[in-house]
């Protein structure tokens, strides 16, 4: 196990009706709150009115930025940053899924920066601070509620970039599984795939860590077990609760200690989303199984054997290649059972420029750490995914 530094500053309030604490928790940071949210779901569910009432009961002035897109746009970050400056905002509160929370992080950083916030996402400058951030999670997927990462899209440049800072971990996050009861079947599936792929990015590693691998396997098995239950019975509290905290643990640093982030799946998916504005979970569902199939070789067969046996319950056998292949087939089958896409055409991407997509994905000589992929490798995976 290699040296590592692990620290997470986010306080988590988990469970039914923990939302009722939002007023008092927010008041600790000041009297001006910017409420950031998506389209109309929190208004339809009544959460919007509930949060506003709780905040105002504490004498908090609530300012708003709604309409955050599923792939949040840099324009929203710019607008939110200006609102923070105009109204002397003390706390940026994101109420929604990962996109809303990601946008909140960008907004909080833009609020204390005089330049264009795209400078952060294009890696021109490092953040020197941010306003305090908090979140109320309504979708189990990205883990953004307990990390400093933020992914934002710039449609003008066809870029979707991830960026993070020690300043952008939420100060606190409220995780109430009942708030995910109304999440659609497709978005629940997207969240399941996103959670699993976050774990893949660390599990498939050349670094050895017995403890890390067992933690990763526990999270994957939990998601695989409870995902179908949540799809069949959306109001099943245990299923929603296990999915919610699994998605949080998948990317709060716990699965990443002593391991390097693999990278292929998320980096390549960000390129697909930037070009075609598809759901993040859809892109990952298409890419990850084909990536596994492409990279399986004699050097990494033991890892895929371990994945097949420990995660998917494939019967051990002396023929490791057969067992490993069965594990990968189980990923295809599971995603198919979730009714998630497994090809580019499933999301309406017909006849893309594979050379351009591969070139955008592989910005250096190779992409990925577990197996280093060239542009031709990435192109082949995309072609197999069509």
What DSSP letter does each residue of 328-365 carry, written as one string?
HHHHHHHHHHTT---SGGGGT--S--HHHHHHHH--SS
Under 8 Å between Cβ of 369 and 260: yes
**Do 321 and 356 belong to one domain?**
yes
Residue 259 backbone dihedrals phi, psi, to 5 degrees: -125, 155
**Do 193 and 170 belong to one domain?**
no
Average pLDDT of the chain, as a whole number: 96
pLDDT tops 90 at residue 336: yes
Is residue 376 included in any domain, yes or no? yes
Query: What is the arithmetic mean of pLDDT over 222-251?
Result: 98
Is residue 263 included in any domain, yes or no? yes
**Do 235 and 322 belong to one domain?**
yes
Is residue 138 included in any domain, yes or no? yes
The domain total for the chain is: 2
Burial class (CB in 10 A: 0-12, 13-18, 19+), 328: buried
Torsion of CA 286, 338, 252, 162, to 10 degrees: 30
Under 8 Å between Cβ of 127 and 169: no
**Do 368 and 356 belong to one domain?**
yes
pLDDT in tens, 178-228: 999 999 999 999 999 999 999 999 999 999 999 999 999 999 999 999 999
Query: What is the arithmetic mean of pLDDT over 101-129?
Result: 96
**Do 373 and 270 belong to one domain?**
yes
**Do 188 and 304 belong to one domain?**
yes
Quick one: pLDDT band at residue 26, thresholds 50, 70, 90? very high
User: What pLDDT was estimated at residue 3?
Assistant: 86
**Do 194 and 331 belong to one domain?**
yes
**Do 170 and 305 belong to one domain?**
no
- Give the angle 23-27-31 at the CA atoms, nearest 5°: 115
Is residue 4 included in any domain, yes or no? no
> How are strands ordered across the β-sheet holding 91-96?
11-14, 172-175, 133-137, 91-96, 32-37, 61-65
Task: Mention every residue, 6+ apart, whose C-beta is less than 8 A from residue 356.
Answer: none
CATH of the domain at 58: 3.40.50.1970
User: What pLDDT was estimated at residue 141?
Assistant: 96
**Do 175 and 208 belong to one domain?**
no
Residue ranges making up the domain that contains 252: 183-384
pLDDT in tens, 272-316: 999 999 999 999 999 999 999 999 999 999 999 999 999 999 999
Quick one: pLDDT band at residue 46, thresholds 50, 70, 90? very high
**Do 346 and 229 belong to one domain?**
yes
What length is written for the chain? 386
pLDDT tops 90 at residue 377: yes
**Token pair recorded at residue 68:** 């955050």
Tell me how far apart the alpha carbons of residues 23 and 333 are, in angstroms, rounded to a whole number: 44
Is residue 6 included in any domain, yes or no? no
Is residue 314 included in any domain, yes or no? yes
User: What pLDDT was estimated at residue 77?
Assistant: 98
pLDDT tops 90 at residue 5: no
Residue ending a domain, among 141, 158, 179, is 179
Tell me how far apart the alpha carbons of residues 352 and 14 are, in angstroms, rounded to a whole number: 43
Is residue 3 included in any domain, yes or no? no
**Do 149 and 233 belong to one domain?**
no
Is residue 163 included in any domain, yes or no? yes
User: What pLDDT was estimated at residue 40?
Assistant: 87
What percentage of residues in the chain have a pLDDT greater than 70? Answer: 100
Lowest mean per-residue pLDDT among 62-66, 255-259, 291-295, 341-345: 255-259
Quick one: pLDDT band at residue 2, thresholds 50, 70, 90? confident
What percentage of residues in the chain have a pLDDT greater than 90? Answer: 96
pLDDT in tens, 140-185: 999 999 999 999 999 999 999 999 999 999 999 999 999 999 999 9
Under 8 Å between Cβ of 360 and 272: no
Tell me how far apart the alpha carbons of residues 260 and 370 are, in angstroms, rounded to a whole number: 9
**Do 19 and 104 belong to one domain?**
yes
Query: What is the arithmetic mean of pLDDT over 243-259?
Result: 96
CATH of the domain at 306: 1.20.1090.10
Residue ending a domain, among 144, 179, 214, is 179
Residue ending a domain, among 134, 162, 179, is 179
């Amino acid at each position: 196990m290699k040296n590592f530094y692990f620290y997470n500053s986010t306080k988590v309030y988990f469970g039914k009706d923990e939302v009722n604490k939002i007023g008092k928790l927010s008041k600790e940071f000041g009297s001006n709150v910017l409420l950031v949210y998506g389209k109309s779901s929190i208004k339809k569910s009544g959460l919007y009115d509930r949060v506003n009432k709780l905040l105002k009961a504490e004498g908090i002035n609530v300012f708003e930025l709604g309409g955050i897109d599923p792939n949040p746009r840099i324009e929203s970050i710019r607008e939110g940053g200006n609102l923070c400056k105009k109204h002397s905002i003390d706390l940026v509160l994101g109420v929604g899924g990962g996109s809303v929370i990601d946008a909140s992080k960008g907004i909080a950083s833009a609020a204390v920066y005089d330049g264009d916030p795209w400078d952060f996402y294009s890696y021109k400058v490092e953040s020197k601070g941010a306003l305090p951030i908090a979140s109320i999670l309504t979708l189990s997927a990205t883990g953004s509620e307990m990390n400093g990462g933020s992914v934002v899209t710039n449609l003008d440049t066809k870029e979707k970039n991830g960026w993070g800072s020690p300043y952008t971990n939420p100060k606190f996050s409220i995780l109430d599984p009942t708030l995910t009861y109304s999440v659609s079947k497709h978005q629940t599936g997207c969240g399941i795939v996103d959670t699993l792929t976050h774990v893949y990015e660390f599990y498939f590693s050349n670094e050895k860590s017995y403890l890390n691998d067992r933690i990763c396997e526990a999270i994957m098995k939990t998601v695989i077990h409870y995902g179908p239950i949540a799809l069949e019975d959306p109001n099943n509290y245990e299923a929603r609760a296990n999915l919610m905290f699994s998605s949080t643990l998948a990317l709060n640093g716990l699965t990443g200690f002593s391991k390097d982030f693999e990278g292929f799946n998320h980096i390549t998916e960000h390129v697909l989303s930037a070009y075609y504005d598809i759901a993040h979970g859809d892109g990952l569902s298409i890419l990850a199984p084909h990536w596994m199939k492409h990279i399986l070789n004699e050097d990494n067969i033991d890892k895929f054997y371990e994945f097949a046996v420990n995660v998917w319950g494939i019967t051990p056998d002396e023929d490791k290649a057969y067992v490993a292949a069965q594990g990968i087939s189980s990923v295809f089958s599971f995603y198919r059972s979730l009714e998630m896409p497994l090809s580019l055409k499933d999301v309406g991407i017909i006849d893309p420029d594979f050379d351009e997509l591969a070139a955008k994905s592989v910005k250096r000589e190779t992409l990925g750490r577990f197996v280093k992929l060239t542009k031709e490798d990435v192109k082949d995976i995309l072609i197999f995914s069509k």
